[in-house]
Structure 1
Amino acid sequence: MRHLLKKLLPSVAVALTVTGSSLPIAARTQTYPIDCAILLCLSGGWPASVPCARARAEFIRRFTPWPVEPPLQIWRCPMGASFEAAPPSNSTNRIFDAFFQNNSSGPRQSFPERDSIDPIAVAWRASDARDLVPTDRALRLIQDRADIDISGPEFNFVRSIRVFDVRYARQHESGRDGDCNRSATVVLGTYGTQGDFAWQRSSVTALPSAHVGLERWGEHCPGIYHRSVFVDWRDYEGNYGFEQVNY
């Protein structure tokens, strides 16, 4: 997986220089196919490249308060849309195969003829309307989950993403008797079997050890006031990664 991504990304960087530079950054990052780039780059452990750097920046922007959004919105990546070009002969990697599935029952996606298709470059080629799924097709995409079956273990990296929103955590002494008051509101966002995202109540004690800022929570009564969003994940190969934004 990682070797394939590294092989593809140099050509993606060239494609971005030619096709992506004409759009403002906001327009490129808000175009829904960026989620295809986030999906692929995340699975490969965020390889060093221009498109993956931009995809990661958007990934982080989405949970930089406020509001806190799902960092990967897989329902915006039209994996079920098919290409006119024939799929590659090597079909062992379903993450890439998803971009080449035949779907005779649905509308087809039109691309210029070429010998090979780079799925990350396609995800980022937002400056040419011919390269995007038509608007009516986008509106028909399932709005809260992937539009193909991603229940297999090869997509575990999607379900590994966790979003801890520490909306409020405070610890302080109060009153003459020196009582320690602690209060916190923490919610956890997780992804379901098909990439659907949902929030649930959580707690300070459930935060991963990589989280910084609440290490002394519950220790005597040092004054603490903390708010943050912490996101962690594991890539396709199981490598751990995380980002924290304090506010």
Structure 2
Amino acid sequence: MSLVGTSDRTQAQTYPIDCAILLCLSGGWPASVPCSRARAEFIRRITPWPIEPPLQIWRCPMGASFQLDDSVDRGGRFYDVLFDSLRRPLPQTFPDAPLQAASMPVPAVFRGTEAEPGQVPGGLALRLVQNRADIDISGPEFNFVRSIRVYDVRYARQRESDRDGDCNRSAVVVLGTYGTQGDFSWQRSSPGALPEAHVGLERYGDHCPSIYHRSVFVDWRDYEGNYGFEQVNY
């Protein structure tokens, strides 16, 4: 079963789909048309090649506010605004319609002095954010974002040498993780760091059965801490 659509369609859905991924992932992927589409895109992004961050939170605008006091943490309020928007029921006349971008907040945070409704405040500073969330998501309510781990097993092989009987093993595994503000980065890892749910390398390092394995494995914990994972072999 192929989960990959045309590049044009993917690009057209990018704006709302990451907001849907954010919400549906946090809720444990509840059964619904928007969440089914969001999960399909989540998996498509880790289906080689190329391998992409499964959640691209910087594509989901969450913050648009006149913030008067920088000492006040308003992350929780932005969280509620975003999630309340996404929880609005889809129009009954279009039961299969995707989540609409029109319901999302503007992708920027405004800081400045107080102004009348509908007016731009004086001393406005517009802060645009790339490759991370556009609001502060450092609080525990967004731990589910930072729980996502992407293991790219580029190869892991093991075989007994025909010449001297030694066991030859080699592997390249890289791990993708999310930072405090949803920024994504890669680092070197190893087969031994793979989660127990990963399948295919259970006998790696055990005597010397012949093994050649390539896969991408992603796991996460939802808002309530429930564990989930997906694996794509190639």
Query: TM-score, normalization: structure 1?
Result: 0.71
Whole-Å separation in 2 of the counterparts to 1:158 and 1:143: 17
Q: 1:184 aligns with which of 165, 171, 194?
A: 171
For the aligned residue pairs, the C-alpha RMSD in angstroms reads: 3.0
**Which letter maps to 2:43?**
I
Residue 159 (structure 1) aligned with residue 127 (structure 2): no
- Asked whether the 8 Å contact 1:163–1:230 carries over to 2, the reply is yes
Q: 2:82 aligns with which of 99, 103, 108?
A: 99
Structure with greater helix percent: 1
Q: 2:218 aligns with which of 231, 241, 247?
A: 231
Percent of aligned pairs sharing the same letter: 76
Quote the offset at 1:125 in angstroms: 1.5
Q: Which residue of 2 aligns with 1:16?
A: none
Whole-Å separation in 2 of the counterparts to 1:147 and 1:58: 22
- Asked whether the 8 Å contact 2:21–2:55 carries over to 1, the reply is yes
Deviations 1:212-241 (A, max 9, x none): 000000011100000000000000000000
Whole-Å separation in 2 of the counterparts to 1:246 and 1:52: 23
Q: Please list, as runs of the form range in 1=range in 2, the aligned pairs for 1:31-70 lying within 5 A after superposition.
A: 31-70=14-53
How many residues are paired up?
Answer: 196
Whole-Å separation in 2 of the counterparts to 1:133 and 1:28: 19
Structure 2, unaligned runs of 5 or more: 1-6, 66-73, 91-97, 110-126
**Which letter maps to 2:228?**
G
- Secondary structure of 1:175 counterpart: coil
Structure 1, unaligned runs of 5 or more: 1-23, 83-90, 101-115
Whole-Å separation in 2 of the counterparts to 1:158 and 1:196: 10
Residue 222 (structure 1) aligned with residue 209 (structure 2): yes
Change beyond 3 A, Cα 1:44–1:166: same
Whole-Å separation in 2 of the counterparts to 1:136 and 1:163: 28
- Secondary structure of 1:227 counterpart: strand
Quote the offset at 1:117 in angstroms: 4.6
Quote the offset at 1:175 in angstroms: 3.2
Q: 1:71 aligns with which of 47, 54, 73?
A: 54
**Which letter maps to 2:172?**
T
**Which letter maps to 2:176?**
G
Q: Which residue of 1 aligns with 2:230?
A: 243
- Asked whether the 8 Å contact 1:159–1:195 carries over to 2, the reply is yes
Q: 2:99 aligns with which of 97, 113, 124?
A: 124
Quote the offset at 1:28 in angstroms: 7.2
